[in-house]
């Protein structure tokens, strides 16, 4: 069965190429499914394809259509319903996630870090069913500070900070005394240790001693920067690690992490690690997820248009003063958006050109805009 | 030094996909070797570097100038994988929910 | 891909312009039914017969 459809698809594609018409793959797939096992002659197939192509062309967006406006309305209207709803949501395993309008604003503003960064870490098949191995990976990801596993005391008589590791906690996190000592030495502390405690000499000043103690408390021993919590959850495919905080680049390098499916909700990190096209996909995924979660059905093409717009220049730009609106080439368009006087003054001083090609400029000047009927240039057609 | 760009061997059809960066060794891009293979991630669509003749065909087909294409910085991990240079065009075959597969083009620009 | 047919915007622009011409007294190019006096209607009838001496120039902007 699968083989016949494959073959059919191939012949359809070949025919399309021969006929020099273009039909998107999804339409071809649907057509192939419809035809199924019915016997169709090549001639009939050609006719069908011609018909399909014609129908498809009728349903395409016409040049001149104001798609941006339609997108703005289609996202904006459901957006008004979002404001009323909750801002935070205790969702996946007691984790607090920003959802709804605040999240959508974050995506559109292209923030470097979202207010609740999160990762979904999938593991390789070898690891994902073994709870112990998964726990080990999780402990490598979750940040562990000295204060989490030991008591830190200040010894005023000897002017030193004493670290008393909690053996139970240490074992749970798979850290040894030597690990702690190593880390301390790496940072350049002078340490003295016996079996259960480590002491660090301080300069003879109370203030310095205090500062040292606080410094020691928050020192990282294990884990990835930025990841404050890692939760293990059983999913149908095996154990999956969810984290609060995100460090995409570092986590991907960990042995046992599936580099193909692990994701983060930090779009900027995705852009840096995987590139602009991945960022585009991430924006589409995150935005449509946010809208869907609120029970709003916005057609994905609108979101794709937004994603295309903000990734057009090869970096993730925000929509607003610092991004796409602020970088418009036209002075009048920028002046119409925000801080009017400064833009006009600057343009006057520099002597900027205004070619009047955009929509805003032409409205200001009182000309037909380059959309819809406005783009059409009529010419006289002499009688034949 | 860079051997991957197919602008160097324009006779080759179909450009050079980055399906096997290992096969080309560490010369595919300058600097340190990337520890992760970004091309395999599910969020990353297939990138193909176009040769000069192919780029010209694309520009002619869509009747656009080079500057009006969307851009991709040279520093982009995927562009580095291909060893692309500014001015070249990368063809991107996206998986699309609405169209099945969709071809887009980006011009490589200085970061 | 080159569109062979007019988009709906082009159609509107052509018919609109032609209707203006007719309203301003341009000679009508077809035989019109007796009761039709609306220049827009006349322009539409002309458009359907494809005899309006106006076409579009594409790809400038």
- Give the residue numbers in B contacting A (CB under 8 Å), as ranges: 35-38, 40-45, 47, 70-73, 76-79, 92, 94, 96-102, 106, 109
Residue A40 lies in a domain: yes
Residue A384, pLDDT score: 62
Among A193, A222, A251, the domain boundary falls at A222
Q: B10 or A34: which carries more pLDDT confidence?
A: A34
pLDDT tens, B57-93?
Answer: 999 888 888 888 999 999 998 888 888 889 899 999 9
* Contact call for B106 and A282, based on CB within 8 A: no
Residue A282, pLDDT score: 93
As a three-state string, the secondary structure of chain A is CHHHHHHHHHHHHHHHHHHCCCCCHHHHHHHHHHHCCCCCCHHHHHHHHHHHHHHHHHCCCCCCCCHHHHHHHHHHHHHHHHCCCCCEEECHHHCEEECHHHHHHHHHHCCCCCCCCEEEECECHHHHCCHHHHHHHHHHHCCEEHHHHEEEEEECCCCEEEEEECHHHHHHHCCCHHHHHHHHHHCCCCEEECCCCEEEECCCCHHHHHHHHHHHHCCEEECCCCCCEEEEEEECCEEEEEEECCCHHHHHHCCCECCCCCEECCHHHHHHHHCHHHHHHHHHHHHHHHHHHCCCCCCHHHHHHHHHHHCCCCCCCCCCCCCCCCCCCCHHHHHHHCCHHHHHHHHHHHCCCCCCCCHHHHHHHCCCCCCHHHHCEEEECCCC
* Contact call for A277 and B102, based on CB within 8 A: no
Examine the domain organization and report whether A150 and A258 are in the same domain: no
- Nearest CA among A339, A330, A323 for reference residue A360: A330
Range of the domain at C24: 8-49
Q: What are phi and psi of A118, to 5 degrees?
A: -145, 150
Examine the domain organization and report whether A122 and A232 are in the same domain: yes
Whether B9 shows a pLDDT value over 60: the answer reads: no
* Contact call for C56 and A379, based on CB within 8 A: yes
Residue A2, pLDDT score: 64
Query: Which chain A positions have a beta carbon within 8 Å of B37's beta carbon?
Result: 259
Nearest 5°: the CA angle B105, B109, B110 is 165
pLDDT in single tens digits along all 384 residues of chain A = 567 777 788 888 888 888 878 888 888 888 888 887 778 788 888 888 888 888 888 888 888 899 999 999 999 888 888 765 555 555 555 677 777 888 888 888 888 888 888 888 998 888 888 888 888 888 888 888 888 788 887 777 778 888 888 877 777 777 777 777 777 777 777 777 777 778 777 777 778 888 888 888 788 877 788 888 888 888 888 888 888 888 888 888 888 888 889 999 899 999 999 999 999 999 999 999 888 888 888 999 999 999 999 999 989 988 888 888 778 888 888 888 888 898 899 899 999 888 888 888 999 999 999 898 988 889 998 876
* Contact call for A25 and B44, based on CB within 8 A: no
* Contact call for A357 and C56, based on CB within 8 A: no
Structural domains of chain B sorted by starting position, each given as residue range(s) with its CATH number in brackets = 16-109 (3.90.940.20)
Residue A22, pLDDT score: 81
Examine the domain organization and report whether A236 and A251 are in the same domain: yes
Residue A246 lies in a domain: yes
Residue C2 lies in a domain: no
Query: Which chain A positions have a beta carbon within 8 Å of C1's beta carbon?
Result: 22
Range of the domain at A237: 117-141+225-264
At C4, the pLDDT band (50, 70, 90 cuts) reads low
Nearest CA in chain C to A371: C9
Examine the domain organization and report whether A149 and A183 are in the same domain: yes
pLDDT tens, B21-41?
Answer: 444 433 444 444 456 788 888
At B16, the pLDDT band (50, 70, 90 cuts) reads very low
Percent of all residues in chain A with a pLDDT value above 70, rounded to a whole number: 96
Which domain CATH number covers C21? 3.90.940.10
Which domain CATH number covers A344? 1.10.150.390
Examine the domain organization and report whether A134 and A157 are in the same domain: no
Residue in C1, C52, C54 closest to A22 by CB: C1
Whether C60 shows a pLDDT value over 80: the answer reads: no
Residue C12, pLDDT score: 94
Whether B15 shows a pLDDT value over 60: the answer reads: no
Total domains present in chain A: 4
Residue A104, pLDDT score: 87
CB pairs under 8 A between A and B: 90
Judged by a CB distance cut-off of 8 A, whether residue C55 touches chain A is yes
Cα–Cα dist A133/A127, whole Å: 6
Residue A297 lies in a domain: no
At B20, the pLDDT band (50, 70, 90 cuts) reads very low
pLDDT tens, C8-58?
Answer: 899 999 999 999 999 999 998 888 888 888 999 999 999 998 888 898 888
Quick check: pTM over 0.95? no
């Amino acid at each position: 069965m699968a083989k016949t459809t494959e073959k059919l698809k191939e012949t359809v594609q070949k025919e399309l190429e021969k006929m020099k018409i273009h039909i998107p793959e999804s339409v071809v797939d649907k057509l192939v499914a419809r035809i199924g096992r019915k016997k169709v002659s090549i001639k009939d197939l050609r006719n069908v394809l011609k018909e399909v192509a014609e129908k498809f062309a009728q349903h395409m967006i016409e040049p001149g259509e104001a798609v941006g406006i339609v997108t703005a309305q289609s996202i904006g209207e459901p957006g008004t319903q979002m404001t009323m709803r909750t801002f935070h949501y205790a969702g996946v395993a007691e984790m607090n996630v920003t959802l709804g309008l605040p999240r959508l604003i974050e995506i559109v503003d292209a923030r470097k870090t979202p207010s609740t960064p999160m990762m979904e870490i999938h593991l390789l098949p070898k690891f994902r069913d073994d709870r112990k191995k998964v726990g080990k990976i999780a402990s490598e990801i979750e940040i562990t500070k000295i204060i989490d596993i030991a008591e830190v005391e200040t010894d005023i008589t000897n002017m030193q900070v004493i670290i008393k590791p909690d053996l139970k906690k240490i074992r749970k996190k798979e850290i040894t005394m030597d690990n702690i000592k190593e880390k301390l030495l790496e940072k350049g502390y002078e340490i003295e240790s016996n079996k259960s405690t480590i002491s660090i000499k301080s300069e003879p000043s109370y203030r310095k001693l205090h500062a040292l103690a606080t410094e020691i408390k928050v020192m990282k021993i294990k884990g990835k920067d930025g990841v404050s919590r890692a939760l293990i959850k059983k999913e149908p495919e095996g154990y999956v690690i969810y984290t609060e905080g995100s460090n995409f680049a570092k986590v991907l390098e960990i042995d046992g992490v599936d580099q193909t499916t692990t994701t983060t909700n930090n779009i900027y990190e995705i852009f840096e690690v995987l590139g602009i096209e991945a960022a585009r996909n991430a924006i589409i995924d995150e935005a449509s997820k946010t809208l869907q979660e609120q029970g709003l059905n916005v057609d994905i093409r609108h979101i794709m248009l937004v994603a295309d717009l903000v990734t057009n220049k090869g970096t993730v730009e925000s929509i607003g003063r610092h991004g796409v609106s602020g970088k418009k080439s036209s002075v009048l368009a920028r002046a119409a958006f925000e801080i009017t006087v400064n833009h006009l003054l600057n343009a006057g001083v520099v002597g900027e050109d205004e070619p009047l090609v955009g929509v805003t400029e032409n409205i200001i000047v009182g000309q037909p805009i380059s959309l819809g009927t406005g783009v059409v240039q009529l010419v006289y057609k002499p009688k034949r | 030094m860079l051997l991957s760009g197919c602008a160097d061997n324009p006779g080759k059809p179909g450009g050079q996909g980055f399906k096997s960066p290992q096969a080309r060794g560490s010369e595919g891009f300058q600097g340190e070797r990337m520890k992760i293979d970004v091309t395999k991630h599910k969020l990353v669509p297939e990138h193909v570097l176009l040769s000069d003749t192919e780029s010209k065909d694309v520009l002619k087909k869509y009747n656009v100038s080079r500057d009006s294409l969307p851009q991709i910085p040279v520093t982009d991990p995927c562009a580095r994988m291909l060893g692309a240079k500014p001015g070249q065009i990368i063809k991107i075959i996206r998986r699309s929910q609405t169209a099945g597969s969709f071809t887009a083009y980006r011009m490589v620009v200085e970061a | 891909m080159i569109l062979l047919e007019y988009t709906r915007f082009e159609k509107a622009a052509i018919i609109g312009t032609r209707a203006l011409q007719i309203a301003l007294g341009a000679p009508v190019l077809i035989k019109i039914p007796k009761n039709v006096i609306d220049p827009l209607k006349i322009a539409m009838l002309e458009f359907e017969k494809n005899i309006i001496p106006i076409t579009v120039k594409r790809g400038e902007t």
